[in-house]
């Protein structure tokens, strides 16, 4: 019997190794989970001091002249009290009250709002505050970690995590204008998350949470950080955004290198015209669907953000030379932006 046992053991030399392998696999899984948890908790700890809860009040007649009218979230992006949030969160507010992570409350002033991108800047009268860092949304990749922080249904400083599901989406704002270059994520958002930050694993703000599609689950959207940075800068200087309107929707594309070399283009990125409003300035100028816009008044257009910035800096009524690629041909068209029509 003893010789038989020795022979069986010799026939299965890896038996001890195989017995231990599930434990090593489980340990590896635990390490991965710990790394993910550490990334999420680290980013949340870094950003949470800059996240604020916002309550708004509307003026009413009667014994209660100011009535609570909901609220949302926001985040400090400068240490001297400037806060980014959604335009729809503070729209029509007669009073805005901001609560910080440490419980302090301040009444905030509205600096400016842009319903076209659903962004607004408000300010509280204090300094030396923790401020979030705005990251580069152009560096985003589908599948990377996305962490949302806000106050859904009044539950302060709630953290949810997921991934960047898609880039370059478009949403229609309350003003009727398409908000381009929107980030889609499955990090859960609920009423009250609006205006809060969407951050990456390094704790950098990559977007401003703005919307969900109900009753769908996992379809949540944020305004890209690069758009938010530009709009916030304009609101700080001017208090509002006035922009030319040409009546088209587009999406970012990467041009084939042979086309870039042939036409001696500077950026490889460009804007593909996805649709054109009938009778609008783009239509009158002769732009067509599937045209590729590569320059605006001699200035390279590498994507939607560049065109939006160019329109924001163009006075309505000014004639602008637009360079487009149609098929393999490069054309020069003249477009006259107008004031954006009011949608009812």
Please pick, among 88, 114, 137, 291, the residue that the annotation labels catalytic.
88
| Cβ(282)–Cβ(335) below 8 Å | yes
Please pick, among 114, 116, 118, 306, the residue that the annotation labels catalytic.
118
Cis peptide before 54 (omega within 30 of 0): no
Rounded (5°) CA angle 126-131-135? 150
Question: Is residue 156 annotated as part of the catalytic site, yes or no?
Answer: no
Question: Is residue 278 annotated as part of the catalytic site, yes or no?
Answer: no
**Which candidate, 215, 244, 263, 255, places its Cα nearest to that of 307?**
244
| Cβ(225)–Cβ(205) below 8 Å | yes
Report helix angle 225-238 to 304-312, nearest 10. 10
Please pick, among 48, 73, 194, 306, the residue that the annotation labels catalytic.
194
Question: Is residue 116 annotated as part of the catalytic site, yes or no?
Answer: no
Tokens 């703000």 found at: 205
Instruction: At 336, list the tokens.
Output: 């006259």
The residues annotated as belonging to the active site are 88, 118, 194
């Amino acid at each position: 019997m003893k010789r038989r046992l020795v022979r069986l053991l010799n026939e299965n030399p890896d038996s001890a190794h195989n017995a231990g392998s599930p434990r090593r696999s489980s340990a590896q899984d635990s390490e991965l989970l710990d790394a993910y948890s550490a990334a999420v908790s680290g980013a949340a700890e870094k950003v949470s001091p800059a996240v604020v809860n916002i309550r708004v009040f509307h003026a009413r007649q009667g014994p209660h002249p100011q009535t609570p009218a909901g609220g949302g979230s926001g985040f400090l992006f400068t240490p001297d009290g400037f806060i980014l949030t959604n335009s729809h969160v503070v729209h029509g507010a007669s009073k805005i009250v901001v609560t910080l992570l440490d419980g302090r409350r301040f009444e905030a002033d509205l600096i400016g709002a842009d319903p076209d991108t659903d962004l607004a800047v408000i300010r509280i009268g204090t300094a030396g505050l923790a401020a979030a860092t705005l990251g580069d949304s152009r560096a985003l990749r589908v599948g990377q970690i996305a962490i949302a922080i806000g106050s859904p249904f009044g539950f302060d400083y709630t953290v949810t995590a997921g991934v960047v599901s898609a880039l370059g989406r478009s949403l229609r704002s309350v003003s009727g204008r398409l908000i381009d270059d929107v980030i889609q994520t499955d990090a859960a958002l609920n009423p009250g998350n609006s205006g809060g930050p969407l951050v990456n694993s390094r704790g950098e703000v990559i977007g401003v949470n703005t919307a969900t599609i109900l009753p769908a689950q996992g379809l949540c959207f944020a305004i890209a950080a690069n758009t938010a940075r530009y709009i916030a800068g304009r609101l700080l200087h001017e208090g509002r955004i006035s922009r030319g309107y040409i009546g088209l929707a587009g999406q970012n594309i990467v041009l084939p290198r042979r086309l870039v070399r042939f036409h001696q283009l500077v950026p490889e990125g460009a804007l593909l015209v996805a649709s054109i409003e009938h009778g609008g300035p783009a239509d009158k100028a002769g732009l067509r669907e599937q045209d590729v816009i590569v320059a605006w008044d001699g200035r390279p257009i590498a994507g939607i953000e560049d065109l939006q910035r160019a329109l924001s800096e163009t006075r309505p009524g000014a004639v602008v030379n637009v360079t487009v690629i149609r098929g393999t041909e490069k054309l020069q068209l003249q477009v006259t932006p107008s004031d954006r029509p009011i949608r009812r």
